[in-house]
Structure 1
Amino acid sequence: MAVVDVFNTNGETVSQMELPDEIFNVSVKPSVLHAVVTMQLASRRSGTASVKRRGDVKGSTRKLFRQKGTGRARRGDIKSPLLRGGGVAFGPSPRSYAYKVPKKVRRLALKMALSSKLQENELVVLDRMELEGIKTKAFARVMDTLDRRNTLLIIGEKDEKIELSSRNLPDIKVLRSEGLNVYDILKYKNIVLLEPAVKAIEGRLSA
């Protein structure tokens, strides 16, 4: 098992923790990470693009002129896609871009993402973070003390003081352990894990 230092909010080492190899020491395969990140981004697409088709356009269904004898091309009603203001023939309609990759692949990718951060020395374990109130300045001071910017902070459970204090910091994101995902891990340069969150992640990925 990998042994990492556990820091307090003053940046001091207070203890050490063992991280299980089956989660934090997995060989990284970019193809697996790519498959899961692509799935996440596809699921986030809105898919709301839409057009009005011939039946959706408001207008009369009267035939504009007779079929034969005018010398002109035959024409139906004014809602024809060939006419200005008519319906669209092959435009987009609302759809879902979401798809799934196997659960085992998603869990493996999560382990790989965490392992990559540990291997690159971009993962820090914090014993706890207790704020007196909802203060962005106090939260930013802790991040500055740890010298960690562009950081994803993983907490074990709901903590409104931490979550609300971090909202105005553009390069910091706070995520609960149950919402941990591959895209956010790879998006941010540093990962800060609260000690309770490590236990929650172990329980989630070791089952």
Structure 2
Amino acid sequence: MEVEILQDDGAASGRSVTLDPTIFEIEPNDHVIWLDVRRIQAHKRQGTAKTKQRSEIRGSTRKLYRQKGTGNARVGDAKSPIRRGGGRAHGPQPRNYRQNLNKKTKRLARRSALSYKVQDEAIHVVEDFELDTPSTKAVSNMLDSLDLADSKVLIVTGGNQPTLYRSARNLPKVNVQEAGSLNTIDILDAEAIVLQEGALEEITRVLSVAQPA
């Protein structure tokens, strides 16, 4: 698939690029996308929720009153989970929620997400550019020129561009990511994706089917 390369002011550069069909034009695999999204979301969980069980509650383990003859229900010590101030039964304990997938599956999930964006005509390729100084207005003007001012936009860079990150952080609908750290949720969450030429080359290198597992 041929995509026109634009300048950062929205003007045509007179050049085009062919998107790798093994990355951008595959049949999306929804199940693999779900697996990868679940993995990413699980990695964000701290796993620090903790409640005290009856063995951790301060208090006596003496039985409050005898088992029979009082007319009351049977009861154990004051730390019983059924009593106010007692321990929590089956409460959350610290745990690791991390999950893992093999590299081939994670790459397939990203390829599937990118293929969905190509189907929606949501991918735009621009020439490599850098900002000398942080400027939110410069990023906003660029998105205006690309007719993306009101969209949730993912800008993908070929390398680390801290000036561009700082320029876009005050724009609530703009997310800037390096091509090497791009994940499935970033792709799916965006209404439009702006790829720098260098980012497209990096994505093609990383997600190429010819890459070893």
TM-score (norm 2): 0.87
Q: Secondary structure at the match of 1:55?
A: helix
Gaps in structure 1 of 5+ consecutive residues: none
- TM-superposed CA distance for 1:67, in Å, is 5.1
Distance, in Å, in 1 between the alignment partners of 2:22 and 2:74 is: 71
Distance, in Å, in 1 between the alignment partners of 2:7 and 2:50 is: 52
Q: Per-residue displacement from partner, 1:158-204 (whole Å, max 9, x unpaired)?
A: 11110111111111100111111111101111011011111111111
Q: Does 1:123 align with 2:123?
A: yes
- TM-superposed CA distance for 1:81, in Å, is 1.4
Distance, in Å, in 2 between the alignment partners of 1:142 and 1:27 is: 32
Distance, in Å, in 2 between the alignment partners of 1:199 and 1:157 is: 11
Same amino acid, percent of matched pairs: 40
Aligned residue in 2 for 1:155: 157
Aligned residue in 1 for 2:2: 3
Residues 125, 195 of structure 2: 8 Å contact kept: yes
Alignment of 1:103-182 (within 5 A): 103-148=103-148, 149-182=151-184
Distance, in Å, in 2 between the alignment partners of 1:181 and 1:193 is: 14
Q: Per-residue displacement from partner, 1:122-161 (whole Å, max 9, x unpaired)?
A: 1011112222311112211111111123111111111111
Aligned residue in 2 for 1:40: 40
Distance, in Å, in 2 between the alignment partners of 1:69 and 1:32 is: 62
Aligned pair count reads: 206
- TM-superposed CA distance for 1:29, in Å, is 2.8
Q: Secondary structure at the match of 1:11?
A: coil
CA RMSD for the aligned pairs?
A: 1.9
Residues 54, 80 of structure 2: 8 Å contact kept: yes
Q: What stretches of structure 1 move > 6 A for 4+ residues in a row?
A: none
Q: Secondary structure at the match of 2:204?
A: helix
**Quick one: which amino acid aligns to residue 142 of structure 2?**
V
